[in-house]
Chain A
Amino acid sequence: MAALRASGRRLGTVVGLVGLCLLLSALTPYFLTVSNLLNVLEQTAINAVIAAGMTFVIISGGIDLSVGSLVALAGVVLALCLQAQAPLVVAIAAACAAGAAFGMLNGLAITWGRLPPFIATLGMMSIARGCALLFTGGRPVSGFDVDFRHVATGRFLRVPAPVFITLAVYLLGRFVLAETRFGRYVYAMGGNEEATRLSGVNVRLHKTMVYAVSGLASAIAAVVLTARLNSAQPIAGIMYELDAIAATVIGGTSLMGGEGGLGGTIVGALIMGVLRNGLNLLGVSSFVQQIVIGLVIVFAVVIDTSLKSRRP
């Protein structure tokens, strides 16, 4: 029954995405071309990957405001490693480790420190940003060799590499959420944390892991972003947390925790990506764009809740 309801909700967002695509196809001849659709997928990759981690956190009943800063921090770690002539694999591993470790600190502050997730990750938002600025002296780090840039610029059958990275993240994330014990605990903690604890689940451990997953996702996004811009900026990713939360919520994951999934989040991220792309193609003024994006976020959730309440 719950599964049926979940798929029904996702259907709402899928219909929304398709409707948006149809509308844009009617409005501009430049939207529905292979090169533009690939362009949208490439542009959506960064937000989609961050939002995948955010989905874990929100299902578990928490929130992670530090993801934007973690993107900057992991990017800086990656760039400094590359600059120090570290092999590509080592540099990427170091960035992922940094993201996961700082995410884990979020989790420890929430579980052992008993801080509300909002406060713990708000603190981390500032700490990680400060670290990124400190490590670089405030300056962007750039100038990498061509190998690394393939992470963003490489193509296979015309499809840009970031799209494959996103796909891999979502397939893996979906497997973890649906097929593993950890995944079931993520839902259980968000549904009823006390009951989960009483049934013998180590809530502290699994909750800490949730935030590490979110940090790791931010780090993967940072690798893509750094390769894309050929530069790691300590001021990168400001407000990315809000885009990630928006994608997750548009995708039907409840901010109350306990329900939702990655299938919805990817559609949510695509809706935002398609919208921004379409508004650019149409040449809509930047001011109006912000209004439209805000309205879409609000309406997506309104439609979602009304669909939900209609079901028995």
Chain B
Amino acid sequence: MRLIRLATLVLAAAAVAACNRAPGPAAARPRVALVLKTVNNPFFIDMQRGAEQAATDLNVDLVVQAAERETDVDRQMQIVENLIQARVGAIALTPSGSRELVPAVGKANAAGIPVVVVDTRLDKQAAAGVKTVTFVGSDNYRGGQIIGEYLVSASGGHARAVVLEGIPGHETGDSRLRGFRDAIKSAPGVVVVASQPANWERDQGFTVFQNLMQAHPDADTVFACNDMMALGAVEAIAAAGKTGKIRVLGFDAIDDARRAILDGRMAATVAQFPDRMGRQAIESAVKALRGEPVPAEIGVPIELVTRTNAAPGSVK
């Protein structure tokens, strides 16, 4: 009991000491934060690299934080709350939930901290009451269309496709899928025989596609809404001894996928330049911090990657 009292006393003393200290004067350089969905996907590592370069060029401090799991939206919200407490100047956020992160953006608004949304849009309806500086990202719908158009022409208008979806309800995956489905409408011979979520992950891409191959042995194409799941499917195809017989389409053009395309294990993917997204996000955040105007939307280009341009770095 005495120890508890002692501890309370020490804590109280520290509280008094803290109150005498005005937080923040040491930070002469502006500090901006990049909050990623996760750091176990190369896409976000590339984004982080672009952001770090921009931060160096602009002479600002950059804090990069992410939840351990992409599905843990509450943890991402906690990170945003904590960064608000740490009084960062601006936050660039890749929301792991299009609606779920809206309250976090609202809290940043209340604290007067500008928020740049990167890669995944906030849900329009849910975000009606909050302010964001800009959206930096690619048009995922257009990307889905590009890969769908590729499938129509590459298959000569006849394909039986299996789709691996991302986490259900994610704006990114939904848009890609809508674009893909709209593009293949033009070819009645191209049909989707199954569409199942594999939650963006490589191991789930493997098992889900392995199961779907059992159910649909006649499938000749798989479109995965990101490269991680596509690479999982590539392994499942190899395990079944069907390499080269099933056309694998991905999205993101991460290095592993480019290598897979070069040696024929994958057919195509869509390049999204996450490093440019990271750079643009930090540049916009810094502009907002300095009160300079920022366009409401900053598009980052998107490009089909096939064998002809798959060598890493060749599309940039």
Contacts and interface: CB of A to CB of B under 8 A. Distances in A.
Interface of A: 7, 11, 14-15, 18, 21-22, 25, 28-33, 35-36, 39, 42-43, 46, 137-140, 142-143, 152-153, 225, 228-231, 233-236, 238-239, 276-277, 280-281, 283, 285-287, 290
Given A30-B85, A277-B82, A18 B7 contact: yes
Contact of B99 (A18, A228, A231, A283): A231
B24 interface: yes
Contacts of A43: 78, 81-82
Contact of B14 (A14, A25, A228, A277): A25
A67 B211 CA distance: 28
Interface residues on B, range: 35 or more
B182 interface: no
Given A43-B81, A228-B103, 8 more contacts: A14-B4, A15-B7, A18-B10, A138-B169, A143-B125, A228-B77, A229-B99, A236-B73
B112 interface: no
B168 interface: yes
Interface stretch (B15-23, B215-223, B242-250): B15-23
Interface stretch (B64-72, B227-235, B278-286): B64-72
B85 to A, nearest CB: 4
B3 A21 contact: no
Contacts of B213: none
B285 to A, nearest CB: 15
B65 A286 contact: yes
B102 A230 contact: yes
Contacts of A32: 14-15, 18
B298 interface: no
Contacts of B116: none
B82 A25 contact: no
* Chain B binding surface, main DSSP class: mixed
Given A15-B7, A228-B103, A231-B100, A280 B18 contact: no
Given A238-B71, A286-B66, A286-B68, A230 B126 contact: yes
Contacts of B64: 285-286
B7 to A, nearest CB: 4
Given A29-B21, A32-B14, A230-B99, A238 B66 contact: no
B176 to A, nearest CB: 16
Interface string B68-103: 110111100111011101110000000001011011
Nearest to B3: A11
Nearest to B16: A32
B69 A233 contact: no
Nearest to B126: A142
Nearest to B174: A139
B144 to A, nearest CB: 19
30 contacts: A11-B4, A14-B3, A15-B7, A21-B11, A21-B14, A32-B14, A35-B85, A36-B82, A36-B85, A39-B82, A137-B168, A140-B168, A142-B123, A143-B125, A228-B74, A229-B77, A229-B99, A229-B103, A231-B99, A231-B100, A233-B71, A233-B97, A233-B100, A235-B71, A238-B69, A277-B82, A280-B82, A281-B82, A281-B85, A286-B68
Contacts of A280: 65, 78-79, 82-83, 86
Given A36-B85, A233-B100, A29 B65 contact: no
B18 A29 contact: yes
B100 A140 contact: yes
Given A22-B14, A230-B103, A280-B79, A28 B125 contact: no
B91 to A, nearest CB: 12
Contacts of B177: none
Nearest to A284: B65
A46 to B, nearest CB: 7
A33 B82 CA distance: 12
A183 B175 CA distance: 52
A280 to B, nearest CB: 4
B278 to A, nearest CB: 16
Given A18-B10, A30-B85, A143-B126, A138 B168 contact: yes
Contacts of A283: 63, 65, 86
B39 A33 contact: no
Contacts of A236: 71, 73-74
A83 to B, nearest CB: 14
B197 interface: yes
A238 B15 contact: no
Nearest to B13: A22
A7 B34 CA distance: 43
Contacts of A35: 85
Interface string B43-67: 0000000000000000000011111
B117 interface: no
Contact of B97 (A22, A42, A231, A290): A231
Interface in B159-210: 167-169, 197, 199
B15 to A, nearest CB: 6
B226 to A, nearest CB: 16
Contacts of A234: 168
A302 to B, nearest CB: 19
Nearest to A17: B7
A285 B66 CA distance: 9
Contacts of A42: 81
Given A30-B85, A138-B168, A276 B78 contact: yes
